[in-house]
Structures are given as structure tokens and as C-alpha cells.
Amino acid sequence: MSFYKNFEEYNLKATDDVKEKYSKIIEGVGEDVQREGLVKTPERAAKAMMFLTQGYKQDPVEILKGAMFKEDYDDMVIIKDIELYSLCEHHMLPFFGKAHVAYIPNGHIVGLSKIPRVVDVFARRLQVQERLTHDILECLNNTLKPKGVAVVIEASHMCMMMRGVQKQNSVTTTSGFRGQFEKQETRNEFLKLISSNLS
């Protein structure tokens, strides 16, 4: 059974276990968990955590395979500015930004909505941005078997903004390329397209 099913239905046992742990955390920082504003906080926080980590119970390969179609198209397909929200595994603080994903089909295309869904599956786990980029790249490459795949992620990390070095304007960019995108000409075309405003 999935930990998180939809916005209102949760695995009650798992949620209760996490709720109890949040109660102890609140007490541990010196707060009164029975104070009016905090009485329901452990439950809310538990449900939020189940939502933010639901990617562990989802299969990105099945998402892609469920919407693959034979098509004689072999030019670049780009989905850019895909919003992403994840949790840094080092401090469990959010990082957020956007992903740009491209692939060059090799006999099959995939439903366009499936690529953002794959991004969400991997983002909704405890992550580091480098592995998130690699996970998305390898999933698309191994499942679609395209002529090439490219992934670029730009994100801001609350673990750098709220604590530690406290650099509010820093943005981290990671990238990965496979197949034809390893050629400089194809890679440059992709980077130019994701940087431009075509509208």
C-alpha cells in the first residue's frame, strides 16, 4: 500500500508513526506540543512529509512505459521550466527550482506530461541535486532508449539560504547528457533553446 494516496487519504499507521516523532521534535526544541497553535502541528507535518516523499512508492519506469507511442520523429523534444520541489537529504530542508529536459526519439515518443511526472517522482524523495539530475537522466535514457537525453536543473537550496553560509541569491546548476547530446553542436542547440524566450 502506498504511504500517500491522494490529498486527503494517507496510510494511517505510517502517518501516526511520523506524527509521534514530530511531537518529540517539537518538545525537544523546547516548545509545548499542547499549546493551541501546535496541537495539530505534528499531524500536519506528518502528512506534509508523506506527500513530499511519496516518490519512494512510485515507479517512474511504469509512468513512461504507460505512454510510449511509435512515431517517426527524430528531432529534439524539449520540455523546459518544469517546476520542482525536493528535500535536501543532509538537512531535510527544501530546495526548489526548475528542470529542463530534452530527448531525441528513436522510434518512440512519450506523452509530454509523463516527463514532468518523472521529475516529480525523483524530486519527492530525500535528494541531492546531483543525484536528482542523474536519476532523471538515466531513467529516460534506459526506458525510452532515445538517440540522446539532456537534463539541466537550476535550484535554490534553503540549507544554504536559511542557515550555514546564508547566501540568499545563490543558484546551483547541474547537468547531464547522453547520446547525441554529448556532441557539442547538439548540446549547444539545447542550451540555447532553454535559455531563450520563444513566446
pLDDT of residue 165: 83
- pLDDT tier for residue 4 given thresholds of 50, 70 and 90: very low
What is the tens place of the pLDDT at every residue in 97-146?
Answer: 999 999 999 999 999 999 999 999 999 999 999 999 999 999 999 999 99
pLDDT of residue 9: 61
In which order are the strands placed within the sheet that holds 172-179? Answer: 126-127, 77-88, 94-104, 148-157, 172-179
* Pair 118, 136: CB distance under 8 Å: yes
Mean pLDDT of the chain: 93
Active-site positions read 88-91, 129, 157, 159
CA distance 197 to 27: 49
Looking at per-residue pLDDT, the higher value among 18 and 4 belongs to 18
